[in-house]
Chain A
Amino acid sequence: MPRFDSDDMHQGQTGGRFGFSGVRTDKLGASNYTLADIVVDETGSTSTFADELKKMVKASVESLKKNSRSDNILVRVSTFSTRHPNGVREIHGYLPLADIDVTMYDDIDPAGMTPLFDAAFSAVAASNAYGKMLKDDGYDVNSIIIVITDGDDTSSSFGPSRVAAEVDQAISGEVLESCITILIGVNAARFRAKLETFRVEAKFDHYKDVADATPESLAKIGGFISQSVSSQSQSVGSGGPSQNIAATI
């Protein structure tokens, strides 16, 4: 799917088992970047709104392509489900927006249980690892990680404290200038308390609850994602995170 061929992509691994990829840093041209991770639930319970989830992700990325900061944003899209080896499937690694062809996005194909903690860990860890590569090559970097789930964790090997350790590394400011972490619960009202607990234990910044997985609410999530990424991108170089993440979706 990516327009970069495999020789242009760096392959990395975190946590001993989670792979990630990103365009080689010597192929990049700007002076600063925001890494945007969009992590989407692909478990069996999302089957009734899988198409809308895919549309939401595509719309978010398309919207970011038109953003004034689009040249300074690298996007990675992944899904999670126990049906995937290690629970996480990377749709594409960190790519410049201009090189992402959303028409080539795989369908969301729901099945399996929910390795939510592993998915959150792998996204934060990938962002830390790839962000360090950029930083070492002279780029200013910040990141934003958005995890969308319809349920609580059922099957992870890592716990919230492991996620928190990666978040601590992200926000220490030594590699990434700042990192914003957002958990979105969709159609997950009955899990709200547990997801809020996970947010606290994993040290995520925000939990946003979207009661129903209707096309309208998923479209709003798409808009929230692109606004949040855009806002964090405007903060790179300022030394701190965006202060403009919307309170509600």
Chain B
Amino acid sequence: MKFSADSHFLIGKQHESDNKPCQDYALAQINTDCAIAIVSDGCSSGGRTDLGARIVACAAITHAHKNIYADLGSFESAVYKTMWGVAELIELNIEDLLATLVIAVVSKEHTFVHFFGDGACHVKFRNGRAMLDRTSWAHNTPYYIANRGHVARERFLKFHGGEMAQSVNRFVEQKINEHDTLSAAHSDTCGNGMRGITLAYPTDEIESITVFSDGIEQVGDIPPLEVVEMLTGFKNTTGDFAKRRLRQQVATWKKDGKHPMDDISMATIHINHDSEDV
């Protein structure tokens, strides 16, 4: 089993027009025993969340390992401490650190995706099926790891109406074949969302897994499932394969008058099951 991984992010039309920086960030990394893909989306109404997204992503990849699923709380705590360590050094405050985190960890044994906030995960299975799982939050106010501290946490819970409030929306679409798609929507509690939503897949059934920021939902009138299918139609999986695909696809959309409104980030892991590196 051999992993290839890549990531990229591009500014959306809104931030370009507003002379704001891209507030999405993405990272992908192959370790000795797993591959990691991360996207982070900074809050548009926050502070310098372009920096926040980078800090969250870099803190996350520092502490990521193949077994974070076993104690997600410890992982989040480590990321939180690192984020604030960096923030204090350069005098950032909480408004600057409001950024989501979606992290995929693929090992030979298992594949997990963890959502801290909103975002999406696309999985292509070896049997030809594909699944897109999107997570969003009520009032467009997702959980951010920066809200883990006591005061911020209480304020966040109060805003959403408490731990049991149905604040998290999940929408899952599964492509069965070229013509047929199944979809399902359900909700989850604010408390569960704050603890991190986890998806699990058997690695030996997966061809690729890609995490996205919610920018995939604002590409003209193109449905998100179609957007991610275009973005994961890699011609090959060597080197900067995600950068090439995202760049070329966005250029095509722009020519068709469908400039993505929001920043888009993607990080992808491709699995070659015929190789024996892992």
Contacts and interface: CB of A to CB of B under 8 A. Distances in A.
Contacts of A28: 238-239
Interface stretch (A44-52, A117-125, A135-143, A220-228): A135-143
B239 A138 contact: no
A118 B3 CA distance: 45
Interface residues of B, number: 12
Contact of B240 (A26, A27, A29, A136): A29
Contacts of B239: 28-31
Interface string A17-44: 0000000011111111000000000000
A138 B236 contact: yes
Give the interface size class of chain A: 10 to 19
Contacts, number: 31
Contact of B236 (A26, A31, A32): A26
Contacts of A25: 236
Contacts of A139: 244
B244 A138 contact: yes
Contacts of A26: 236, 238
Contacts of A30: 239-240
A138 B238 contact: no
Contacts of A32: 244
Nearest to A27: B238
Contacts of A27: 238
Given A29-B240, A30-B240, A31-B240, A137 B235 contact: yes
Contacts of B235: 136-138
Contacts of A138: 234-236, 241, 244-245, 248
B243 interface: yes
Contacts of B243: 31
B247 A140 contact: yes
Interface in B223-245: 234-236, 238-241, 243-245
> Which has the most chain B C-beta neighbours within 10 Å: A25, A29, A31, A140?
A31
Nearest to A29: B239
Nearest to A139: B244
B230 to A, nearest CB: 12
Contacts of A137: 235-236
Interface in B139-198: none
B4 to A, nearest CB: 10
Interface in A129-183: 136-140
Interface string B107-148: 000000000000000000000000000000000000000000
Interface of B: 234-236, 238-241, 243-245, 247-248
Interface of A: 25-32, 136-140
23 contacts: A25-B236, A26-B236, A26-B238, A28-B239, A29-B238, A29-B239, A29-B240, A30-B239, A30-B240, A31-B239, A31-B240, A31-B243, A31-B244, A31-B247, A136-B235, A137-B235, A137-B236, A138-B234, A138-B236, A138-B248, A140-B244, A140-B247, A140-B248
7 closest cross-chain pairs (CB), A and B = A29-B239, A138-B235, A31-B240, A138-B244, A137-B235, A31-B243, A31-B244
Given A31-B239, A138-B241, A138-B245, 17 more contacts: A25-B236, A26-B236, A26-B238, A28-B239, A29-B238, A29-B240, A30-B240, A31-B243, A31-B244, A32-B244, A138-B234, A138-B236, A138-B248, A139-B244, A140-B244, A140-B247, A140-B248
